[in-house]
Structures are given as structure tokens and as C-alpha cells.
């Protein structure tokens, strides 16, 4: 399996379990991602993401998205796209 850096967590909203991610690459709903940092290390499939509170199925480099995550993410964590 290969991993490609697609973004970085800029903020985490504890109450709603959402990470704000600034993208360096394209990301789509259904993609498998790996979130990795000093204390974070988990994989998940992208289930839902938003830009400015609007649901989107694809986001592009340079955009900032809200990403529902299955575990706590932290500022500075890196987001990798996992490909087989």
C-alpha cells in the first residue's frame, strides 16, 4: 500500500468530531485516508466532508474542508491518501 500526503489538520472540533484540513491534494468521499501525528495514528474512509458548511463529494488542493473523523485528530497531524 502506498500513501500520498494530501493535507494537514489545522483545527479539531471536539464536540462534533470534525477536523479542519487544509488540502495539498485532491480528496473525495469514499477515499481511504491515514491520519498520523505525534499521538494520532488511524485510518478511515472519508464518509462526509464540507466546505463552508456545504457538503461536497470532492475537494481540491488549497481548499480547507471540515472532515468527520472516527478518532481525535490534532493540529499539525498529516492526512495521507491510502492507495492499494
The better pLDDT of the pair 1, 74 is held by 74
User: Any idea which residue has 491518501 for its cell?
Assistant: 81
Question: What's the pLDDT band for 1 if we cut at 50, 70, 90?
Answer: confident
Give the model's pLDDT for residue 84: 78
The Cα-based distances of 47 to 38, 39, 57, 66, 77 in angstroms read 24, 23, 9, 11, 19
Q: How many domains does the chain have?
A: 1
- 40 SS3 class: coil
pLDDT, tens digit (0-9, with 9 covering 90-100), for 7-53: 999 999 999 999 999 999 999 999 999 999 999 999 999 999 999 99
Mean pLDDT to the nearest integer, 75-79: 98
Residue 75's domain comprises 2-83
| pTM metric for this prediction | 0.95
Spell 58-77 as b/e; 16+ CB within 10 A means b: ebeeebebbbebeeebeeeb
User: How would you class 29 by CB atoms within 10 Å of its CB: exposed for 0-12, middle for 13-18, buried for 19 or more?
Assistant: middle
Amino acid at each position: 500500500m502506498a500513501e500520498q500526503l494530501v493535507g494537514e489538520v489545522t483545527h479539531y472540533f471536539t464536540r462534533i468530531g470534525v477536523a479542519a484540513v487544509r488540502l495539498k491534494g485532491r480528496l473525495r468521499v469514499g477515499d481511504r485516508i491515514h491520519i498520523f501525528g505525534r499521538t494520532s495514528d488511524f485510518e478511515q474512509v472519508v464518509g462526509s466532508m464540507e466546505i463552508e458548511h456545504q457538503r461536497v463529494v470532492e475537494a481540491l488542493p488549497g481548499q480547507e474542508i471540515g472532515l468527520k473523523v472516527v478518532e481525535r485528530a490534532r493540529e499539525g497531524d498529516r492526512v495521507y491518501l491510502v492507495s492499494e
